[in-house]
Structure 1
């Protein structure tokens, strides 16, 4: 079982634009970070839709879906995504939401459950590992949640989908003065017209 973090990121290091809100979950100007996945066959399957492009990008997205047995996210990501995901979210696995505001577990269609964890990143990871079994746990975001797990040295693999756009401003992923040094080894590099997919493994 591997703990992963898998995010789309701009060439200048942003994972969201400015002005992130419930009505604007990706932030201003950040549409290119997410638009590239919308017509992939593997993504459309998860949305209950037919068709879409079968290409290398779609294969990588399907690989993530198939490998992931549980997901961890922050409360902001949950709050901004809740309406967009609707009653049938694409995760199809248990999702553990880091929060300071308790809430009963939500059971959605397709196998997604949202469990709200109030006692920290280690507790959320322990619960996610138990739920995932032999499959991976993915730290889905947002940036602050991923940084917390990076800071604690709890992420095994990092996959970045580098989209060919410069946002100029927004929410940076690697913007943590307390993160310290982390050495990584390259697992693979896949270049497509839509994104450059970089996968790294942390060296312990």
Structure 2
């Protein structure tokens, strides 16, 4: 991994741990353990930094999804449920900071149009990846089935991040959701 990725990962950490107000070039330099000015050398403006952060977290989230799915899409409803449960646990556990950074950026995109464009582009890549998961898992209409599953999953993770429940087990909820949505209509 190169210095650019190190800086972007540090920016994700700053966002996930401190929110949008904490994100400065200086804070990223410190989080990356690099001399002052390092982030600015790669990303001259905050907008440039944020756009690159969006691209980086999309790549990292896809890598986490591929790790969970064993580098192949889930082939059945049950495998899809298992992958989504593992993904929810990962986003609220070891990838918590990454997930929090995503939600911080989602909120900022509501009032910052240039960031919204980058987020929509990254979101399209995630959506395409998930549509493939649904098709392989047996969805008769992935375009129809993706929004309710993705949106519910997003809310489920957000609630766990905002108000952590030590006994968090999304299995029953995700099973009910996937079963209801993927049944033939």
TM-score range, shorter chain: under 0.3
Compare the two structures and name the one with the higher helix fraction: 2
Taking CA–CA contacts closer than 8 Å with sequence separation of 6 or more, which of the two structures ends up with the larger relative contact order? 1
Compare the two structures and name the one with the higher strand fraction: 1
TM-score by length of 1: 0.24
TM-score by length of 2: 0.26
Flag the structure with larger Rg: 2
